[in-house]
Amino acid sequence: MSRVEPKNLPPFREAGRGRSLIDRRVDPHPSQAEGEGSRAYRNARKRSAIPFTPMKQRKLRDLSVSAMGLGCMGMSEFYGSRDDAHSMSTLHRALDLGVNFLDTADMYGPFTNEQLVGRAIRDRRDSAVLATKFGNMRGADGSFAGVSGHPDYVRKACDASLQRLGLDHIDLYYQHRVDTNVPIEETVGAMSELVRAGKVRHLGLSEAASQTIRRANAVHPITALQTEYSLWSRDPEDEILPTVRELGIGFVAYSPIGRGFLSGGFKSLDDLEPTDWRRANPRFQGDNFQKNLDVDRRTTRHRLGHVPRRRHRPDPRQQDHRPPRRERRRGRGYLHRRGTGAHRRRPAEGRGSR
């Protein structure tokens, strides 16, 4: 039988059981016809209730976001075929679960990903914290035209993103890649003009070096730095993480589960569609795939056990447009097995401001 959904379920309040939880979702029971006051129906409620904790919040400098974010790139390009209806449903479901930190960029699609995300949040703008990016120039045919950080391009790119999104402001505006031919001071200076004009609320950088971060932050406060960080991409630990901690900049990890590899969802390269960009990634090719798969299987046993909490952890952005798996990942991060003393690992935290 299908699940009976409670009406007007408030955000974040999933089915639950226990004194601290408010709402419950209930599987139907044959005795339901007897009325909610029957003992059989009450017992069915107890058996079907599953505890969840509301989504935690993290601070990226002075910007508050959900502890888990949703990277939207794969909804429009790079990770196989697209399904806008499915992706729209995923975006709405993420917001319902309290995942309000949505990440897109003008180059994804190209351009179509911003349109998709804009449509999804247009009537729920206050529930979403929207991040988008500029800098990687692409043509309408998908061709790549290099990187630009010229002030004129910064202003032009922002206006184009706002038009595609259908919004009047961007919450977090990243420079997607640093233009080595333009001083970072000039680029960030143009970005700060967007803040003063009310088009952008917060500024960010992506894949920037330590000294570049310092120079940019001296021009205008940088709210967040976005860089790849996971169990198999730990380069930021040497210089980047110490720098953002010192400057009070939030750290946003993209591809925290190794572009999906560390999720345990891959068994062979055939699991990827022929057009999937990851087929060209060396970690997914030849003997590397099997060796990495063996390592992932060994570390899975550790991930499912107790992992002590650390003080500084980045803000994860999952890049998956399939709702069932995303919800399983959320449960794996926040579900506690009550009464057993065993707690599953919480997702990485992203303050980076201490």
CB contact at 8 A, 22 and 12: no
Stretch (H or E) spanning 127: none
**Strand (E) positions, 110-210?**
129-134, 136-138, 144-147, 170-175, 200-206
Distance of CA 120 to the CA centre of its chain: 15
- Backbone region of residue 116 per phi and psi (left: phi > 0; alpha: psi in -120 to 50; beta: other values): alpha
User: Which amino acid appears at position 199 of this protein?
Assistant: K
261 close to 268: Cβ distance less than 8 angstroms: no
Place of tokens 């967040």: 224
Q: Tell me if 170 sits within 8 A of 158, measured CB to CB.
A: yes
Separation in Å, CA 327 to CA 27, 68, 349: 18, 12, 18
Where are the extended beta strands (E) located within the chain?
A: 57-60, 63-66, 69-71, 101-103, 129-134, 136-138, 144-147, 170-175, 200-206, 224-228, 250-254, 315-318
Amino acid code (one letter) for 25: R
Q: Which amino acid belongs to residue 164? A: R
Tokens of 337: 């097995």
| Residues acting as catalytic residues | 108
C-alpha to C-alpha distances, 130 to 122, 203, 317, nearest whole angstrom = 11, 12, 13
Count the Cβ atoms, other than its own, within 10 Å of residue 115: 17
